Amino acid sequence: MPKKILLKWLQEKDITIPGALLTQYKAMNLKEEEVVLILHLISISDKGNDFPTPFELAEVMTYSAEDCAGMLRRLIQKGLITINEGYSEEGIRFEKYCLDNFWEKLADTFLIADKRNEAKENQQDEI
Amino acid sequence: MPKKILLKWLQEKDITIPGALLTQYKAMNLKEEEVVLILHLISISDKGNDFPTPFELAEVMTYSAEDCAGMLRRLIQKGLITINEGYSEEGIRFEKYCLDNFWEKLADTFLIADKRNEAKENQQDEI
Amino acid sequence: MPKKILLKWLQEKDITIPGALLTQYKAMNLKEEEVVLILHLISISDKGNDFPTPFELAEVMTYSAEDCAGMLRRLIQKGLITINEGYSEEGIRFEKYCLDNFWEKLADTFLIADKRNEAKENQQDEI
Amino acid sequence: MPKKILLKWLQEKDITIPGALLTQYKAMNLKEEEVVLILHLISISDKGNDFPTPFELAEVMTYSAEDCAGMLRRLIQKGLITINEGYSEEGIRFEKYCLDNFWEKLADTFLIADKRNEAKENQQDEI
């Protein structure tokens, strides 16, 4: 029985987030609930579902399906999330959320913050 | 230069969160911003600061220091965060946030959810 | 350019291993190179290839393809790795390595070690 | 009881390794057992011990304390591990293993591999 529990815990799969995400999301104009929604997208995708509905998100978030749909829309409008469409070999059309732009924006923001810090340190060295 | 950036990225240290946290925080009566505050506590502690001030939290969150203080207070009142006090060998008093109760509550909530799921499955089997 | 590097680093995808794996692999009769081979299987699978050949493993390991094939064989004989076969919807047969038994054995070993530790502690309490 | 087990599992603390470590350790002239020894150093340090003895390492590795001491020595000679010495405020001398050089070498190796790959791709484009 304890073993079964451990295996179920493992099935929930850990997710790893770069520390930079926590220090930079504010500069990326993201709210905390949007960060958590993105973590849900990552986690749900790891478990095999690349295109969760607002209803599925609302089940694990403290927001309604309507709110979740609104957040998704805003993240798509900002260009952080894209929807990739395609056709499987059997001709079935599929859609999946793609976070490539999100990671790219995170890298951008991290590099800008780093440059600003360096500029500040140089200024202080000169004084 | 690219190397320096990679090393800085690594210094931000990844944090790993159990998938169960994402599926259970709602049942733990936590809001998304409280989950993110807890992730900040973990991340900041990993970088060596076990007792960040509300001002330090407000720097990386979209909330004011006052709001962060309020969230911390509520998490402490719920018994999820405790403040451990102690005296270092040099006689200096220190305080640190302790998340042991939080992990315990997460394990509890996960086990309750698991039991409920099993009961549901058994019911369905009987039909 | 630094951004491109960061994105490439991210594409390599982090993998997370339970601390218990490091404390228990010896009791599971695994050698260090077998642990690393399993980490490679996890990592390569995360990147989309569920059935790497011994040649692909030999590219990233300090062992020959023949040695890698031998290690895989032993892990399969021990029942830690299984090969799942199936047919895709287009009728194409596929094979993939499956680590479910490995995680189950890890959970088992962890629980046995835990019981032994408790027994030891109880004995010491009685003295 | 299942809860106690989950909490013990959590206490073992997950460790996260960059995918790049798995793809680059061979180019860094590291053997699999040396990679695992480094993972042990990271994990044991996360649990609060920054200077495990060869005996402590031998307990969790399939190598003797003598072998572990030899591996540590070689990693130090290669400059991947350094021993940082210091005096605590109470005047007590302490030593700790430091992996900064190891991460730096990993970043270096990753960048060199990346340049080589780009050169190859450019060559192929020209043909």
Mean pLDDT score, A24-45? 96
Cβ–Cβ below 8 Å for C10 and A18:
yes
Write down the pLDDT at residue B87: 75
Cβ–Cβ below 8 Å for A16 and B19:
no
Nearest CA in chain A to B117: A8
Cα–Cα distance measured from residue D44 to residue D51, given in angstroms and rounded to the nearest whole number = 9
Residues 6+ away with beta carbon under 8 Å from C27: C109, C112, C113
**pLDDT tops 80 at residue C127:** no
Cβ–Cβ below 8 Å for C110 and A6:
yes
Burial (0-12, 13-18, 19+ Cβ within 10 Å), D109: buried
Tokens found for residue C9: 């680093």
**pLDDT tops 90 at residue A127:** no
Write down the pLDDT at residue A77: 97
What number is the ipTM of this complex? Answer: 0.83
**pLDDT tops 80 at residue A39:** yes
**pLDDT tops 70 at residue D57:** yes
The candidate with the shortest Cα–Cα distance to D104, out of B3, A125, C81, B61, is: B3
Residues 6+ away with beta carbon under 8 Å from C119: none
Mean pLDDT score, B11-34? 93
Cα–Cα distance measured from residue C122 to residue C126, given in angstroms and rounded to the nearest whole number = 6
- Chain C residues with CB under 8 Å of D12 CB are 18-20, 23
Write down the pLDDT at residue B96: 93
pLDDT digits (tens, 9 = 90+) for C56-112: 999 999 999 999 999 999 999 999 999 998 777 677 888 999 999 999 999 999 999
- Chain B residues with CB under 8 Å of A43 CB are 19, 22
Write down the pLDDT at residue C112: 92
- The fraction of chain A above a pLDDT of 70, given in percent, is 98
Spell out the CATH class of B25-126: mainly alpha
- Chain B residues with CB under 8 Å of C14 CB are 14
CATH topology of domain D22-103: Arc Repressor Mutant, subunit A (1.10.10)
Look at the block and give the residue holding tokens 């021993």: D83
Residue D13 or A44, more confident: A44
Mean pLDDT score, A105-114? 92
Cβ–Cβ below 8 Å for D19 and C12:
yes
> Which of helix, strand or coil describes residue A28?
coil
**pLDDT tops 90 at residue B127:** no
**pLDDT tops 80 at residue C9:** yes
**pLDDT tops 80 at residue A1:** no
In angstroms, the separation between the Cα of residue C48 and the nearest Cα of chain A is 12
Look at the block and give the residue holding tokens 């590291």: D30
Write down the pLDDT at residue B1: 63
Look at the block and give the residue holding tokens 């087990």: D5
In angstroms, the separation between the Cα of residue A94 and the nearest Cα of chain B is 25
* CATH code of the domain occupying C2-122: 1.10.10.10
Cα–Cα–Cα angle for C13, C77, D9, rounded to 5 degrees = 50
B13 DSSP 8-state letter: -
- Chain D residues with CB under 8 Å of A5 CB are 2, 5-6
Closest to B103 (Cβ–Cβ): which among D2, D10, D103? D10
> Which of helix, strand or coil describes residue B6?
helix
Q: Which element (helix H / strand E) includes A82?
A: strand A82-87
Closest to D16 (Cβ–Cβ): which among A1, A9, A16? A16
The candidate with the shortest Cα–Cα distance to C25, out of C15, C16, C34, C12, is: C34
Nearest CA in chain D to A1: D2
What SS3 string covers chain D?
Answer: CHHHHHHHHHHCCCEEECHHHHHHCCCCCCCHHHHHHHHHHHHHHHCCCCCCCHHHHHHHCCCCHHHHHHHHHHHHHCCCCEEEEEECCCCCEEEEEECHHHHHHHHHHHHHHHHHHHHHHHHHHHC
B120 band by pLDDT with thresholds 50, 70 and 90: confident
- Which of A32, A43, A64 to mutate to test binding with chain B, by most B CBs within 10 Å of its CB? A32
Residue B2 or D109, more confident: D109
Look at the block and give the residue holding tokens 């299942």: D2
Contact in structure between D15 and C17 (CB atoms under 8 Å): yes
What is the domain partition of chain A in residue ranges? Answer: 2-122
Chains that touch D (3 or more CB pairs under 8 A): A, B, C
**pLDDT tops 90 at residue D97:** yes
Contact in structure between B51 and B95 (CB atoms under 8 Å): yes
In this structure, the dihedral spanned by the alpha carbons of residues B23, C102, C53 and D109, taken in order and rounded to 10 degrees, is 70
D1 band by pLDDT with thresholds 50, 70 and 90: low
Look at the block and give the residue holding tokens 């609104």: A70
- Chain B residues with CB under 8 Å of C2 CB are 1-2, 5
Least confident window among B75-79, B112-116, C17-21, D83-87:
D83-87
**pLDDT tops 90 at residue A33:** yes
Nearest CA in chain C to B9: C6
pLDDT digits (tens, 9 = 90+) for B43-101: 999 888 999 999 999 999 999 999 999 999 999 999 999 999 877 767 788 899 999 99
**pLDDT tops 90 at residue B39:** yes
Mean pLDDT score, A61-74? 98
In angstroms, the separation between the Cα of residue A57 and the nearest Cα of chain C is 23
The amino acid at residue B82 is T
Cβ–Cβ below 8 Å for D18 and B10:
yes
Cα–Cα distance measured from residue B93 to residue A113, given in angstroms and rounded to the nearest whole number = 35
- Chain C residues with CB under 8 Å of A103 CB are 7, 10
Gap between the terminal Cα atoms of chain C: 66
What mean pLDDT value characterizes chain D?
91
Cα–Cα distance measured from residue D82 to residue D103, given in angstroms and rounded to the nearest whole number = 12
Write down the pLDDT at residue C1: 63
Residue D28 or A114, more confident: D28
In angstroms, the separation between the Cα of residue B103 and the nearest Cα of chain C is 16
**pLDDT tops 70 at residue A86:** yes
In angstroms, the separation between the Cα of residue B28 and the nearest Cα of chain A is 11
pLDDT digits (tens, 9 = 90+) for C24-57: 999 999 999 999 999 999 999 988 899 999 999 9
pLDDT digits (tens, 9 = 90+) for D32-51: 999 999 999 999 998 889 99
